[in-house]
Amino acid sequence: MAKNDLIGGELWEQYSNKVADRMNNPRNFGDLTEVDAQKMGGRLVIANEGAESCGDTVRLFWIVDEKTDTIKKATFKSFGCGTAIAATDMMAEMCIGKTVDEAAKITNLDVEHALRDQEDKAAVPPQKMHCSVMAYEVIKRATSIYRNVDISTLEEADIVCECARVTLQTVEDVIRINDLKTVEEVTDYTKAGAFCKSCIQPGGHEKRKHYLVDILARVRAEIERERHPERALTDDFAKLSVVKQIKAIEAALDEYIRPALARDGGGIELEDVQPGENGNVNVHLRYQGSCKGCAGSAAGTLTFVEQTLRKNLSDKIRGVVV
């Protein structure tokens, strides 16, 4: 959230003139039939993508010259919003004159670029980017029909964000290389999640196979394990030697807890580590500075300390204030 996000509601005013124009007057809509194909001496390909219950469907018609694999004519029909109609219209136009293999390389990003009025200004607002994805998918569908191959053989690597076409590998690499800690950072680096936001977490516009929150959590955990094998979250924490337990607790206090307490002029010291009931580990702590005698330190602060240690070390940990 920031200044430009607070009013919201902007949608149509962010469409480029080209999008609005193609919504009002699509150039390439309508059916193509076997009769048309015969007249043009080509093969008719009809591909369907999407479902009306999901709010978007598109049908792509191609007449392909089988000698050269060249698309001689392309038209579409669409049940969808203005962006879907404009993007599909542009996509159909971009297919014309290309070979099937060339057309199969057209992505939703190419379509969006072609719809821009100015090179540096997006043709549609972020939340409408996914409406152009169907235009891309239907080309893949048409190609698979023409080539008589399964569509999965044409799919690229695991895509996390359809709008920005970011792969799982890219997201993982970017998190690792740049040591990213938040989803916002991942979005800033990759553009994944910047558009319809479906891939950020479950419950968005559409269901996704991968979500950025999950990928981030997984990669972060991997990074932490690699960096601090001694802190590995394990049920065996209780079985570690007391020296190792103390080292791990001290490290966690330094990294997560002491800086937070220091902001309020407080501090905390590890006094002792004792085995507790049911395999628990009792961590004896002594407050320093302003935490000493503070009313909140008995309840709120202890909860924070305990939760942090449990999250990072072991859920067997019980905090005891000395």
Partner 1 sequence: MERIYLDNNATTIVDPAVRDAMEPFYCHMYGNPNSLHSFGIEVRPYLHRAMEQLYVGIGASDEDDIIINSCATEGNNTVILGFYFNLLKDTRKKHIITTQLEHPCVRESCRFLEKHGVKVTYLAPDREGLITAKMVEEAITDQTALVSAMWANNETGLILPIKEISEVCKERGVHLHSDAVQAIGKVKVDLKEVPVDYLTFSAHKFHGPKGVGGLFIRNGASLPPLLHGGEQMGGRRAGTVDVPGMVAMGKAMELANTHLPYENTEVRRLRNKLEDALLKIDDILVIGKRELRTPNTVYVSIRGVEGEALIWDLNQNGIAASTGSACASESLEASPILTAIGADKELAHTGVRLSLSRFTTEQEIDYTIYVISKAITRLRGLSTSY
Q: Which is nearer to partner 1, 196 or 248 (CB)?
A: 196
Contact segment (CB under 8 A) with partner 1 among 52-60, 62-70, 142-150, 213-221 equals 52-60
| Rounded Cα gap, residues 305 and 290, in angstroms | 16
Retrieve residue 11's tokens: 């949608």
The burial of 193, by beta-carbon neighbours within 10 Å (0-12 exposed, 13-18 middle, 19 or more buried), is given as buried
| Rounded Cα gap, residues 214 and 222, in angstroms | 12
The one-letter amino acid code at 129 reads M
Q: Which of 99, 127, 167, 282 binds partner 1 (CB under 8 A)?
A: 127
Contact segment (CB under 8 A) with partner 1 among 53-61, 64-72, 95-103, 182-190 equals 53-61
Q: Which of residues 148-207 bind partner 1 (CB under 8 A)?
A: 197, 203-206
Closest separation between CB of residue 262 and partner 1, Å?
31
Q: What is the CA radius of gyration of the chain?
A: 28
Residues 6+ apart with CB under 8 A from 28: 74, 75, 76, 89, 92, 93, 96
Among candidate residues 95, 131, 161, 196, the one labeled active-site is 131
**Residue 173 contacts residue 180 (beta carbons within 8 Å):** no
Retrieve residue 234's tokens: 């394990």
- Residue 55 binds to partner 1 (criterion: CB under 8 A): yes
Retrieve residue 120's tokens: 């540096």
- Residue 120 binds to partner 1 (criterion: CB under 8 A): no
Q: Which of residues 69-98 bind partner 1 (CB under 8 A)?
A: 77-82, 84-85
> Does 131 participate in catalysis according to the annotation?
yes
- Residue 21 binds to partner 1 (criterion: CB under 8 A): no
Q: Which of 37, 45, 58, 174 binds partner 1 (CB under 8 A)?
A: 58
Retrieve residue 307's tokens: 């939760």
Binding site for partner 1 (CB under 8 A): 11-12, 23-24, 26, 29, 48, 52-59, 77-82, 84-85, 127, 131, 197, 203-206
Residues belonging to the active site: 54, 131
